[in-house]
Amino acid sequence: MSTTDHRELESAIPEHLRKPGLCPFRSSAEPPPYPTYVARFSKDINQVVMCYLGIQLRPEGNRKALKAAAISVEELVSLASGPLYVDQAKGVDGDEYETHIFALFWDSVMAYQHWCASDLVQGWWESNQREEDGVGYFKEVFMPKIDFFETHYATPEFQSLGNLADAMSGEIKEHAYWGAMRHRIPAAQYDSLASVGLPSVVSKHDNAKRKLVVPHDYMCLIRSGQNWENADQTEIALYQKVILPSLVQGMGYLSEQGLEIGCYSNRFVTLLCEDGYIARQSYGLSYWSGLDALEKWASSHQTHLKIFAAAQEYMSKLGSEARLTTYHEVAVMAADEQYFEYINCHPSTGLLQLA
C-alpha cells in the first residue's frame, strides 16, 4: 500500500465552525485520489466582501474614455481605506462589449463601507459624468458570512479571496465526490441553503440610466479560476488542446443560455498582470439562483461533464508533473448581503438580463 493511502486529512471546515454531531464527513473509507486544500481565515473574521467593479465599452466606443475610467478606479482602490487585495481582468461579452473588471476584497463589511462612503469614492460613483462619458459601469457586491462560503484549491497557493486568509490547510477530505462543495460550506451543517424568491430590476431614484437589481435570499456565487503561469510550453499546448475547448464551450453556454438552468449571469475573463499585460490566468464568474442549481449543472449537465472529463484526461497525462493550478470559491448570501448597481450598461450586463 502506498504512503499516500496513510496521509493525514483535515476537514475543510475549521474546528471553531463545526457543529457537534452535524459536521459532514466522507462516507467512504478511501482517501481522495489527489490532494486539495482550503484557505484558513482568522477567527476574528466574521464576514468578507467581494466587490466586482466593472467598466464596459461598446465596440465603436471611445477608448480614451475607457482608459480614463480605468485609471480613476485604480486611484480609488489605492486609497488607504481601499481593499486588502485587488486583481484586474478583461474580457469581451456576448454583445461584443469590452469589459474591464476590478475584483476588490475586504475582510470586514465596515472597512468596505468606510471606503464607499469616502468623499472621493462616493463623489466619483455618484457623479453625473458616470452617466455621460459613454462608458458603462457596474458594481456587484457580495458580503457572505464566514460560515456561508468555501474555498477550494488544487495547490496550497492563495488565489483570489484566499489572499485574505491567514494560512492554507493541509490536505482535506471533502472533495472528489459529488456533494463535496456543499460539505465544505460550514452553514450546510444546519441550513439547507435553499434559495427563496426572484430578483427584480428597478431604476435608482427614477433615473433610467442607473439600475438596481433587488436580489433574493441565498443566491449563489462561484468564481472558478485557472492558472498556468508556471507551465512550460509543452504543458500549455496540452492545456489548450485538452481543457480549454471544453472550458470555453461551458462558459459560453452559461453566458448565453444559462438562465434556463438557473445561472443568472456568467463571465469568462483573463487576468491582467500589474503592468497591464495579459496574464496566464483566467476565471469564470457566475451568479446562480441557488446552490442547488449550481450543483445540478456541475454533476449532470453535459457542458460541465465535458470540462470534468477533460481535466481528468489532463491529469492522467501529467499527474504530479502538472503545473496548471485550479481553484474555486463559492458563497451563498442573504438578500441584504448583496448589492447590484448598473450605470449606462447594455441590457444583458450581469443581472440586468433578468428584467
Catalytic residues: 328
Output the nine-digit C-alpha cell for 133.
Answer: 462619458
Nearest to 265 by CA among 173, 355, 174, 336: 355
Query: How far is 251 from 198, CA to CA, in rounded Å?
Result: 23
Task: Give residues with Cβ within 8 angstroms of 100, minimum separation 6.
Answer: 54, 55, 56, 66, 70, 88, 89, 90
Rg (CA), the chain: 20
CB atoms within 10 A of CB 107: 21
- Give the DSSP letter string of 18-56: --TTT----S-SSPPSS--B-EE--TT--B-EEEEEEEE
Q: How many helices (H) and strands (E) does the chain have?
A: 9, 14
